[in-house]
Amino acid sequence: MFLENNIIQPGKRGWIEVVTGSMFSGKTEELIRRIKRSEIAKQKVAIFKPKIDTRYSEKDLVSHDSRSISSIPVSEAKDILEHISDIEVVGIDEAQFFENDLTEVCNQIANKGKRVIVAALDMDFNGKPFGPIPQLLSIAEYVTKVHAICMKCGNLAHYSHRLSEAQKLVILGEKDIYEPLCRECYNKSRQSHNKEPELF
């Protein structure tokens, strides 16, 4: 069986991969790429996303660069378990929107000998670890950190800066509401709005 780095691991079955980073960093695009490679390899795949994420499509998984693939919207992470009896590769997008039981669900799936690929924001707009993702990162066998480009200076961006003053944790939006920023530009933007970044 081949992993993404082309290392052959004979007989290895069941693991968790996490693709994480800021908004506009290519997380969903990378998830779709890995799933499509699995399809080429004739593996049975299924992708899941939170029902609340209807930005581009209610059912399809769509990246910011308009790549798409069929997905199954679910209300809770545990609902995924009802759909994977004959599935070999499970993809989960926007995983930060699920509750903390996502970690246990992913463990259960991997323990059944299945490959789990998760794409998720690592931090919220306040710069705090987002939902179940810190726990998921700690148990994952493979973690890929991806970056966007800072909209202020062009350096690698690590933060998802919210352009509005709204303080609600989950606000679905695109470039009209969020912009990727590097650490320095993020801190400057927060200070200019009289909001100190709450990192931890």
**Ranges assigned E (strand) in 39-103:** 45-50, 61-62, 68-69, 72-74, 89-92
Phi/psi at 95 (nearest 5 deg)? -65, -20
3-state helix, strand, coil in the chain (%, to 5): 25, 25, 50
- Per DSSP, helices labelled H in 43-153 are 102-111, 133-139
Active site residue 94: yes
Q: Report the alpha-carbon distance of residue 154 to residue 40 in Å, rounded.
A: 36
Q: Report the alpha-carbon distance of residue 88 to residue 84 in Å, rounded.
A: 8
* Catalytic hit among 94, 179, 184, 198: 94
Active-site amino acid positions? 94
